[in-house]
């Protein structure tokens, strides 16, 4: 009974704040785009009115991520990063504090769409103000639809599929989108001077399809020939058939936009089949385990959200603190995205002047944010235009290669 009352009061508060915000929508939009204290000051009276009796300056956040399954170390990184961000924010003495619902735990989606809805319901039972997650597009898509229907703020982390933020105005993300990543990969192919490329993608996965489509489209537009297009499914372990055809097709470069748990298998089988060209992937390659495959991973590249070798202060700060507390094993892009997400919510509360869902949505719309993933502004869909990092492997270690800006310009490049 008590719980029901709580939910009811929250719903009422939400409804009140929505109706109040409707009255000053023009000023809200103006305040949303320019981050900082002026916006917060402009709408602070609204927020106080909306949440009288309810406002405790605590942002209650539900976090969802892959804690088990083939990408469990992403979830581990997410949990660590969220713990770290929350601790930093709560000890900073700022106007708001953050509480992670579900007992501080990242709810497990097991990289599975059905499990994701269980995780969604689990965190929603604690009536949060906002949700963060999840990392995979196929998992996040159904959650985004439900969150849009529930009028809940969902800040997706690694879900790069275009459709995620199109589900509704309360859905945002802090990562780039699939077509962008595929396009950047094709620009890279162009700059390396390859003329024949092959693609192997997982046809049962939204992410893989998204990257493949954009890659092929941009390659063809640039006059690069796609000599082989092969399919697999995400659970495959045998790629001998596909890689033999890649070798037979005479491709100079193989694009494999799939997830890290199968990347070592594909690369080792491609090399065993005699493929010596470049093998490229997307952010799904991040923190692939390449133990014992150091030589096979020479001449492999992948796009990513950030590089731990980047020298910007935000990255250095994050990497140093994270490594001190948790080591480098789970220091992946996933961790950085969840870390940024928590800070984005904090900034959204400041921008929007409140910790209820409506204020957070208002604060987040059109926000400009600087974090581990660089400085970016959310567009009308809630997608950021971000820089992209190219990594390669040297002696079995991931090495930062270059960083490209949103229009393909080189932002920074490894010296020498």
Partner 1 sequence: MTFSLFFQSIVNGLNLGATYALIALGYTMVYGIIRMINFAHGDFIMIGAYTLFYTVPLMVNNGMPAWLAVFAAIVVCAIVGVLVEIFAYRPVRKAGPMSALITALAMSIFLQNLAMVLFGARPHNVAAIFSLPSVTVAGVTISLNVVLTIAIGLAIMLGLQLFVKKTKLGKAMRAVPQDRDASTLMGINVNKIITVTFAIGSALAAVAALMYCTTYPRVTNNMGTTMGMKAFIAAVLGGIGVIPGAMLGGVLIGLIEVFVRLFAPGWYEAVTYGTLIVILLVKPSGILGRNTGEKV
Report the residue from 28, 35, 46, 73 that binds partner 1 according to the rule CB under 8 A: 73
Q: Does 72 sit near partner 1 (CB under 8 A)?
A: yes
Report the residue from 272, 317, 320, 328 that binds partner 1 according to the rule CB under 8 A: 272
Q: Is 174 helix (H, G, I), strand (E, B) or coil?
A: coil
Please state the closest distance from residue 286 (CB atom) to partner 1, in A: 14
What is the crossing angle of helices 72-90 and 313-326, to 10°?
110
CA distance 302 to 286: 8
| Nearest-5° Cα angle at 107, 101 to 109 | 155
Q: Candidates 165-173, 174-182, 242-250, 387-395 — which segment interacts with partner 1 by CB under 8 A?
A: 242-250
Q: Does 231 sit near partner 1 (CB under 8 A)?
A: yes
Q: Candidates 55-63, 284-292, 331-339, 388-396 — which segment interacts with partner 1 by CB under 8 A?
A: 284-292
Burial track 249-259 (b if 16+ CB lie within 10 A, e otherwise): bebbbbbbbbb
Q: Is 91 helix (H, G, I), strand (E, B) or coil?
A: coil
Nearer to partner 1, 99 or 204 (CB): 204
**Paired tokens of 39:** 């916006």
Please state the closest distance from residue 236 (CB atom) to partner 1, in A: 9
Nearest to 275 by CA among 251, 238, 294, 247: 247
Q: Does 184 sit near partner 1 (CB under 8 A)?
A: no
Q: Does 227 sit near partner 1 (CB under 8 A)?
A: no
Q: Provide the β-strand partners of residue 108.
A: 65
CA distance 26 to 280: 46
Nearest to 249 by CA among 202, 284, 321, 197: 197
Q: Does 396 sit near partner 1 (CB under 8 A)?
A: no
Site string for partner 1, 287-326 (x = CB under 8 A): --xxxxx---------------------------------
Q: Does 244 sit near partner 1 (CB under 8 A)?
A: yes
- Asked if 322 contacts 80 with a C-beta cutoff of 8 angstroms, the reply is yes
| Nearest-5° Cα angle at 301, 326 to 160 | 70
Q: Does 245 sit near partner 1 (CB under 8 A)?
A: yes
Q: Does 274 sit near partner 1 (CB under 8 A)?
A: yes
- Report in angstroms the alpha-carbon separations of 238 from 242, 299, 338, 360, 407: 9, 22, 33, 46, 37
Q: Does 233 sit near partner 1 (CB under 8 A)?
A: yes
CA distance 267 to 279: 8
Size of the site for partner 1 (CB under 8 A): 34
Q: Candidates 19-27, 70-78, 380-388, 407-415 — which segment interacts with partner 1 by CB under 8 A?
A: 70-78
CA distance 339 to 318: 9
Please state the closest distance from residue 388 (CB atom) to partner 1, in A: 26
Q: Does 237 sit near partner 1 (CB under 8 A)?
A: yes
Q: Is 87 helix (H, G, I), strand (E, B) or coil?
A: helix
- Where helices occur in 34-112 by DSSP H, the ranges are 37-42, 44-50, 72-90
Nearer to partner 1, 166 or 265 (CB): 265
CA distance 129 to 57: 11
Q: Candidates 15-23, 28-36, 40-48, 239-247 — which segment interacts with partner 1 by CB under 8 A?
A: 239-247
Report the residue from 38, 52, 121, 235 that binds partner 1 according to the rule CB under 8 A: 235
Please state the closest distance from residue 132 (CB atom) to partner 1, in A: 21
Write out the H or E segment, with its range, that includes residue 17: helix 2-23
Q: Does 52 sit near partner 1 (CB under 8 A)?
A: no
Q: Does 261 sit near partner 1 (CB under 8 A)?
A: yes
- Report in angstroms the alpha-carbon separations of 189 from 122, 153, 194, 257, 311: 44, 37, 6, 14, 26
Nearer to partner 1, 191 or 241 (CB): 241
Please state the closest distance from residue 389 (CB atom) to partner 1, in A: 24
Residue written as token pair 């009276």: 45
Give Cα 409 to chain centroid, integer Å. 22
Nearer to partner 1, 163 or 236 (CB): 236
Q: Does 327 sit near partner 1 (CB under 8 A)?
A: no
Q: Does 118 sit near partner 1 (CB under 8 A)?
A: no
Please state the closest distance from residue 69 (CB atom) to partner 1, in A: 6
The contact set with partner 1 (CB under 8 A) reads 67-70, 72-73, 203, 230-233, 235, 237-238, 240-242, 244-245, 247-248, 261, 264-265, 268-269, 272-274, 289-293
């Amino acid at each position: 009974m008590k719980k029901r009352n709580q939910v009811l009061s929250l719903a009422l508060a939400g409804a009140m704040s929505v109706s109040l915000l409707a009255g000053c929508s023009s000023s809200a939009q103006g305040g949303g785009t320019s981050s900082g204290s002026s916006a917060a000051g402009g709408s602070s009276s609204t927020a106080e009115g909306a949440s009288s009796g309810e406002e405790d300056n605590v942002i209650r956040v539900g976090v969802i991520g892959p804690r088990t399954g083939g990408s469990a170390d992403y979830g581990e990184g997410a949990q660590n990063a969220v713990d770290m961000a929350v601790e930093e924010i709560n000890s900073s003495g700022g106007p708001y504090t953050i509480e992670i619902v579900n007992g501080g735990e990242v709810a497990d989606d097991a990289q599975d769409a059905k499990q994701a809805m269980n995780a969604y319901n689990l965190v929603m039972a604690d009536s949060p103000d906002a949700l963060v997650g999840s990392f995979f597009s196929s998992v996040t898509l159904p959650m985004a639809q439900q969150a849009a229907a529930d009028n809940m703020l969902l800040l997706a982390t690694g879900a790069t599929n275009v459709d995620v933020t199109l589900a509704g105005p309360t859905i945002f993300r802090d990562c780039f989108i699939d077509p962008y990543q595929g396009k950047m990969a094709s620009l890279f192919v162009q700059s390396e001077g390859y003329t024949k490329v092959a693609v192997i993608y997982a046809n049962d996965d939204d992410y893989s399809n998204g990257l493949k489509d954009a890659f092929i489209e941009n390659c063809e537009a640039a006059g690069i020939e796609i000599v082989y297009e092969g399919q697999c499914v995400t659970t495959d372990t045998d790629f001998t058939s596909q890689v033999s055809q890649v070798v037979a097709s005479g491709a100079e470069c193989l694009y494999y936009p799939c997830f890290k748990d199968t990347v070592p298998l594909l690369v080792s089988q491609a090399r065993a089949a005699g493929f010596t060209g470049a093998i490229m992937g997307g952010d799904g390659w991040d923190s692939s385990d390449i133990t014992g495959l150091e030589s096979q991973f020479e001449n492999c590249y992948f796009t990513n959200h950030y590089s731990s070798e980047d020298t910007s202060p935000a990255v250095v700060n994050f990497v140093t603190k994270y490594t001190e507390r948790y080591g480098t094993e789970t220091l992946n892009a996933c961790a950085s995205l969840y870390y940024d997400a928590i800070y984005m919510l904090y900034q959204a509360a400041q921008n929007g002047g409140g910790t209820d869902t409506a204020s957070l949505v208002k604060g987040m719309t059109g926000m400009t944010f600087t974090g581990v993933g660089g400085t970016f502004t959310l567009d009308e869909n809630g997608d950021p235009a971000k820089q992209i990092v190219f990594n390669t492997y040297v002696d079995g270690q991931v090495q930062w290669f270059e960083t490209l800006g949103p229009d393909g310009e080189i932002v920074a490049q490894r010296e020498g």
